[in-house]
Structures are given as C-alpha cells and as structure tokens.
C-alpha cells in the first residue's frame, strides 16, 4: 500500500527533529566535558542531566516556533539558513537564562554557554547545507544522465536574479532536459565569475563563439527588464548562431501568475523581432474622450476591431456596441469582455452587415453612439483580386451606408480605418479603400465629424506575414516570400489601435491621419531571422522560396500621396494629411455606376473586373492595376 504524501511529510519532519536532538545532545555533552576540565563524572552527574533536560526542549521548541521545520530544505536559500542561525542563537540565550535562574547551585562557566550556542548553530546549519549540496549533486548526476536527443545544451543571456531563479529550477527539474553550459552578461564585472555553478564566459558579443565552443542547442534570454530595442540587438546576435531562442517575459508579466521560470519561457514576439518600442499615448485625454460615452465598432470581431473593443472597454464607455457579420468572432469578443468586466461594462453585440443601410441606421438610432469606429472591410489583397465586386460592395458601399446612417442618426464622430495600400493603389482592395477615404472627406461637414486613419501592415493580424512564416517553419518549410526586394511597414495591433483612438480624439473633421510606422522591413531578412531564431539553418533545414509578386502587390508601400499636405500633431507618431476636398455631388453619379456593375451577376467575372477597374480609374487617377 502506498504511503500518503502528508504522512511522508510528517515522517521527514519527525526524522529531522530526531537528528537535531541527537546533534544538540552530542554537542552539549562535548561542551560540558570541556567546561568541566575534561571530566564529567567528577562533578555531580545530576547537574549534567538537569542541564540536558533543559537544553533539548528549549532548542526543539524554539526551532519549531521559528518555522525551521516548515522550510523545504531541498530549496533552501540564504533566508532559511539565516533563520536557522538566529533560532539557534535565541535557543542558546534562553538556555543560559533558564539554567542561571533555576540551577544557580550548579553554575557553569560563561564560555560553556557561548561554545554550546556557536557549535550547535554551526552544526544545525551545516547539516542542512550538506543535505542541500548532496541533493543538488544527485540532481546534477541525473540531469547529465538524461543525455540523449531530447537533452539541450543551454546558453543563458543575462546573469541577474531571473537567471539565478531559472538555474535553480533547471537543477531541480532534470526532466526539462536542459543543461546550462555557460552564461553571458554585458556587465564586465561579472565576466569570469559564475552564477549557480555556471561560468559567465563573456558578453553578448561572444554569443556566436560560445555557441560553437559549447555546442549550444538553446539560448535563453533571461533579462526581463530589457526593452524591445535591447532584445532585438541580442536577438540579432542569436540569429547568427542557428540556435533556438526562448525568452523570459517582461517584468510586468514575470510575476503575473504562479508559473515556474521554465513554464514562463516563451517564443519571440513580433515587436521584439523588429525592435519596436511601444508608443506612448495620453491616456488621460483618451479617458476623457471615451469615458461615459457610447462607442460603436463595426467589424468588432476582427483582429483590429476586437482590439479596438478591448481598449475602448478599458476607458469605461457608457456603452460599447459591437457590430459584425461573422457571429463566431463577435461571440468570442463578447465572452472575453464579459469575463473581464462583467456587469461593469454595458455591452451590446449585434450581427449585421454594413452593406445593409437600414440595419445600420436602426442600430445607430437604437444605441445612439457618440463615436463610430468603422473597421469592417475586406482586406486580403489576393482574395479581392479574385472577387473585386465584393471589395466594392463591402468596402465602398459598406462605408457609404455606415457614413450616411451616422449622419442620419446624429452621430458626433466617425473614424474609418484605412490602409497604406490606398496610396497610389495597384490592387482592387487598395483602390476601394481610397474611394472610402474620398467618401469620408465628402461626407464631412454634414453634422458629423468624419476622419480616416491610414496605416500599414499590422503584426499578428489575420493573414499577416509573421504568423504565416511561423506556421511554415513549424511545418518544416518552405517559407514563401514573393520577391527578394519586397519591403513593408509594420505596427503591432495594440499600438495601431491606440493611435487610432488618439487620432479620433484630436479630429476636427476631414483629416486623413497617417501613423508613423517606423522603418520599413525587408521581408526576406525577416524570414531568415525567424528561421534562424527557431533553431534552423536557412537553405539546409528550411528553404526560402521566392514565389513572385502576386496580382495587385507592390514592392514598396507608401503612406502619403503627393497631393496630401502633411501636418504634425502633438503626438509625434500621428501626422495629418489634408487631401483636396472631395464633393459628394461629383462622387455619387460615379458611385451609382460602380454599384450597378458590382451587383451585376449575369456578366462574366472577367468582364466585371475590367469594368470595375475602368470606373475605379475614373474615380482615382493614381490607380494603376498590377495584374501580376
């Protein structure tokens, strides 16, 4: 029959008490023998026994009272050893006071008490220290005995508290299959020393050399305090090694749960990969703008729309209204917000299409939003090249319907999410979004303040390149890149959404806000870096396949058109483009013709595409369709 765990724990505690009792008895006898000039039995034997009858219970009671037996000595640190030492000293002092008061007829010299107190304290601490060292040695033997193809030789970057915690856990869990072989730190004062028994052999400049020297399989970046730029610099050096890379989370997330350091190890995030620092937003201004007001988000279940809902909910609106045609996404966002805010958030979720003017008008009249953020759109370039009529109906007329409904329902502000592909468009999706911008400009001044926000690719959104590369790497490749020279601007979903809301708060009507996307990234370099940081070698383990530009795809994206005048704002990451004023009277006849073509289901799709391209070129002279 298996012994229950709680009985085992009590047996271990009882055994430790007995061992301590033996240690106290032996050392007391030794010190008593010395204090009596190396004689015991020449003095009254009952004096020896009387003092023993006091010292044993005093020591055991004090050690118990101070929690010495509650400590897990397998994982003891300096605090546990300090408490054990203090408890021994207190017990010695109590023993001195009691015996001096009640046994004044049998006085012992003062040095006896000092010698007894010191030797017992040293012995009790040493006993536990030896146990810990023997256990660590046993675990180390087991860890090295796990040698095999599942064992990974680890180099750790950063030799601070996080590194120490990680090393302790690796030693305690040989089943993790990790063997720390060396560490690096940029503090020159640490180089040449060791941490947790692991040598600190250099700085991050030595990572590649040390990986070759020690045949490293895995690099762990254990610097929770590092910012994205610092992490990106380290990752650049790690990418040259061909080793897999894991990171410990930031300080803000490090203590957010009770998971172990090993469990906290995670893959690289897109913002760390690109070295982008989070944008700073005036939260007070946003709170004043949103708090206590009703906000509607169309396309609220999408990757951008759902993040809009999360951030808006954090600013305590009087009501958050989510509109989406796809019920599954809408349901997921609804459940997430209900779990987080419960009854503190007045949340309404509606299934509906922006193509349906009457539905949008009815929803706006019912909910009376102060702000409408229009994120509903078809955005995938290759798919819209195949179905251009759907891009026209959803993007152009979905925007027109929503904008007209906003004016009719008395909405104060309306912000549309646009894209860098609307600038000198080469595909149907970009062309339709440019027409949406013209509609927004034309609708402004009719009682509602209309504006648009234009930005580039969003990291981690549905269909973006980084999740695609990650999946291809997991499947063993190849990683597909359309052209060796293709570049793109990138921004994370949270920072893009934060800037959208910031732009909405400073809109006066008619603006196209352009977000600072940072430096453009060469896609093939990004692919190589992701492959290397996953522990694979480009060309050997995983191939990069050049597939050729897809229909409608550009080599270089632009954020601003030549006719746009660019003005600065108080937020350095947001700029204002003020294009020439569009007239709704001029637009509407052409939009009616465009709508008729898009709704024609009898004509051949190829002919429909040609007719749509022709009409879009009339609306947007800068549209030059790239058919691939």
d(CA 555, CA 309): 33
Whole-Å CA distances, 133 to 9, 128, 350: 20, 9, 63
Q: Which of 268, 212, 236, 332 is nearest to 470 (CA)?
A: 268
Contact 164, 117 (CB under 8 A): no
Q: At what angle do helices 357-367 and 397-409 cross, to 10 degrees?
A: 30
Contact 306, 326 (CB under 8 A): no
User: At which residue do the structure tokens 């998971």 appear?
Assistant: 259
pLDDT at 75: 62
Contact 169, 262 (CB under 8 A): yes
Contact 290, 316 (CB under 8 A): yes
In this predicted structure, the answer to whether residue 5 has a pLDDT above a threshold of 70 is no
Domains 150-268 and 283-458+490-519+558-619 share a fold: yes
pLDDT at 552: 67
Domain ranges in the chain? 5-142, 150-268, 283-458+490-519+558-619
| Residue 46 pLDDT grade (very low, low, confident, very high; cuts 50, 70, 90) | confident
Among 124-138, 178-192, 448-462, which range has the highest average pLDDT?
178-192
Mean pLDDT for 160-188 is 84
* Residue range 401-429, pLDDT digits in tens: 999 999 999 999 999 999 888 888 999 99
| Residue 562 pLDDT grade (very low, low, confident, very high; cuts 50, 70, 90) | very low
Q: Which of 420, 418, 408, 411 is nearest to 438 (CA)?
A: 418
602 Cβ contact partners less than 8 Å away, ≥ 6 residues apart: none
Contact 522, 485 (CB under 8 A): yes
pLDDT at 365: 96
| Residue 255 pLDDT grade (very low, low, confident, very high; cuts 50, 70, 90) | low
In this predicted structure, the answer to whether residue 16 has a pLDDT above a threshold of 70 is yes
Q: Point out the catalytic residue in the list 171, 237, 393, 421.
A: 421
In this predicted structure, the answer to whether residue 469 has a pLDDT above a threshold of 50 is yes
| Residue 593 pLDDT grade (very low, low, confident, very high; cuts 50, 70, 90) | very high
Query: Tell me, which fold does domain 283-458+490-519+558-619 have in CATH?
Result: Rossmann fold (3.40.50)
Least confident piece of the model among 281-285, 387-391, 617-621: 281-285
Q: Over the chain, what is the mean pLDDT?
A: 84
pLDDT at 4: 53
* Residue range 376-386, pLDDT digits in tens: 999 888 899 99
| Residue 37 pLDDT grade (very low, low, confident, very high; cuts 50, 70, 90) | low
Mean pLDDT for 596-606 is 91
pLDDT at 133: 76
In this predicted structure, the answer to whether residue 251 has a pLDDT above a threshold of 80 is no
- Catalytic, 545? Answer no
| C-alpha count within 13 angstroms, C-beta hemisphere, residue 117 | 17
Decide which of 106 and 432 is more confident.
432
Strands of 371-374's sheet, edge to edge? 347-351, 319-324, 294-298, 371-374, 413-419, 449-455, 512-515, 574-577, 566-568
pLDDT at 7: 56
pLDDT at 149: 55
d(CA 244, CA 261): 18
- In percent, the amount of the chain with pLDDT more than 70 equals 85
d(CA 99, CA 107): 8
Q: Which of 18, 116, 107 is nearest to 63 (CA)?
A: 18
Decide which of 10 and 143 is more confident.
10
Beta strand segments in 203-251, E: 218-221, 244-247
- If one counts every other C-beta atom within 10 angstroms of the C-beta of residue 176, the result is 19
Mean pLDDT for 602-623 is 92
Decide which of 366 and 160 is more confident.
366
Q: Which helix (H) or strand (E) holds 81?
A: helix 78-102
In this predicted structure, the answer to whether residue 442 has a pLDDT above a threshold of 60 is yes
d(CA 11, CA 223): 41
Find the DSSP H helices in 146-191: 161-172
* Residue range 185-244, pLDDT digits in tens: 998 888 888 888 889 999 988 999 999 999 998 999 988 888 877 888 888 888 888 888
pLDDT at 1: 46
| Residue 397 pLDDT grade (very low, low, confident, very high; cuts 50, 70, 90) | very high
| Residue 535 pLDDT grade (very low, low, confident, very high; cuts 50, 70, 90) | confident
Query: Tell me, which fold does domain 150-268 have in CATH?
Result: Rossmann fold (3.40.50)
Least confident piece of the model among 209-218, 327-336, 503-512, 530-539: 530-539
Q: Which of 500, 468, 471 is nearest to 481 (CA)?
A: 468
Strand 574-577 and strand 512-515: pairing? Answer: antiparallel
Decide which of 449 and 43 is more confident.
449
pLDDT at 561: 45
Mean pLDDT for 461-480 is 81
Mean pLDDT for 481-499 is 81
Mean pLDDT for 486-490 is 78
Q: Which of 440, 494, 575, 503 is nearest to 308 (CA)?
A: 494
In this predicted structure, the answer to whether residue 42 has a pLDDT above a threshold of 60 is no
Burial (CB < 10 A; 0-12, 13-18, 19+), residue 559, is: buried
Q: Residue 568: beta bridge partners?
A: 575
Least confident piece of the model among 134-138, 344-348, 598-602: 134-138
d(CA 577, CA 420): 13
In this predicted structure, the answer to whether residue 489 has a pLDDT above a threshold of 80 is no
Sign of the dihedral defined by the CA atoms of residues 24, 26, 29, 30, in that order: negative
Global pTM? Answer: 0.68
């Amino acid at each position: 029959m298996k012994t229950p765990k709680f009985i085992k724990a009590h047996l271990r505690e009882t055994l430790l008490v007995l061992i301590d009792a033996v240690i106290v008895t032996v050392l007391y006898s030794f010190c008593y023998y010395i204090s009596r000039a190396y004689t015991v039995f020449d003095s009254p034997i009952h004096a020896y026994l009387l003092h023993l009858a006091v010292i044993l219970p005093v020591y055991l009671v004090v050690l118990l009272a101070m929690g010495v037996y509650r400590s897990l000595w397998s994982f003891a640190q300096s605090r546990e050893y300090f408490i054990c030492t203090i408890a021994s000293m207190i017990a010695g002092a109590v023993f001195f006071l009691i015996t001096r008061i009640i046994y004044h007829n049998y006085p012992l010299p003062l040095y006896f008490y000092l010698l007894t107190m010191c030797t017992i304290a040293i012995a009790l601490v040493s006993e536990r220290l030896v146990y810990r060292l023997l256990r660590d040695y046993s675990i180390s033997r087991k860890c090295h005995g796990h040698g095999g193809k599942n064992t990974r030789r680890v180099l750790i970057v950063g030799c601070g508290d996080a590194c120490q915690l990680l090393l302790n856990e690796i030693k305690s869990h040989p089943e993790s299959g990790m063997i720390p072989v060396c560490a690096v730190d940029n503090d020159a004062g640490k180089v040449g020393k060791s941490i947790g028994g692991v040598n600190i052999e250099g700085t991050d400049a030595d990572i590649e050399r040390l990986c070759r020297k020690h045949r490293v399989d895995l690099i762990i970046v254990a610097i929770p305090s590092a910012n994205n730029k610092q992490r990106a610099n380290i990752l650049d050096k790690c990418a040259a090694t061909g080793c897999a890379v894991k990171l410990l989370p930031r300080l803000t997330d490090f203590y957010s749960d009770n998971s172990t350091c090993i469990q906290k190890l995670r893959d690289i995030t897109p913002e760390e990969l690109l070295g982008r620092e989070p944008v700073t937003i005036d939260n007070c201004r946003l709170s004043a703008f949103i708090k206590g007001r009703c906000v509607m988000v169309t396309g609220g279940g999408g990757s951008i729309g759902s993040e809009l809902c999360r951030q808006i909910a954090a600013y305590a609106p009087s009501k958050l209204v989510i509109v989406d045609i796809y019920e599954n996404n809408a349901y997921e966002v609804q459940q997430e917000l209900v779990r987080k805010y419960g009854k503190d958030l007045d949340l309404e979720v509606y299934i509906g299409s922006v193509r349906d003017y009457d539905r949008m008008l009815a929803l706006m009249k019912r909910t009376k939003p102060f702000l409408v953020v229009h994120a509903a759109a078809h955005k995938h370039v290759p798919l819209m090249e195949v179905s251009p009529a759907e891009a026209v109906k959803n993007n152009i007329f979905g925007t027109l319907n929503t904008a007209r409904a906003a004016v009719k329902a008395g909405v104060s502000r309306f912000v549309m999410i646009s894209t860098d592909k609307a600038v000198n468009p080469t595909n149907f999706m970009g062309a339709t979004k440019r027409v949406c911008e013209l509609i927004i400009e034309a609708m402004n001044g009719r009682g509602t303040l209309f504006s648009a926000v234009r930005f580039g690719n969003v990291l981690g959104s549905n269909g973006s390149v980084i999740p695609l590369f990650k999946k291809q790497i997991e499947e063993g490749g190849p990683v597909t890149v359309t052209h060796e020279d293709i570049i793109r601007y990138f921004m994370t979903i949270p920072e893009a959404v934060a800037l959208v809301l910031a732009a909405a708060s400073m809109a006066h009507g008619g603006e196209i806000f352009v977000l600072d996307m940072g430096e453009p990234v060469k896609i093939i370099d990004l692919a190589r870096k992701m492959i290397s940081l996953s522990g694979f070698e480009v060309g050997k383990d995983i191939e990069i396949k050049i597939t050729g530009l897809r229909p409608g795809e550009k080599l270089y994206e632009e954020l601003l058109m030549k006719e746009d005048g660019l003005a600065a704002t108080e937020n350095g990451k947001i700029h204002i483009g003020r294009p020439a004023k569009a007239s709704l009277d001029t637009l509407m006849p052409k939009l009616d013709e465009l709508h008729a073509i898009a709704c024609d289901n009898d004509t051949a799709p190829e002919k429909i595409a040609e007719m749509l391209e022709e009409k879009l070129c009339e609306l947007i002279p800068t549209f030059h369709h790239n058919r691939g």
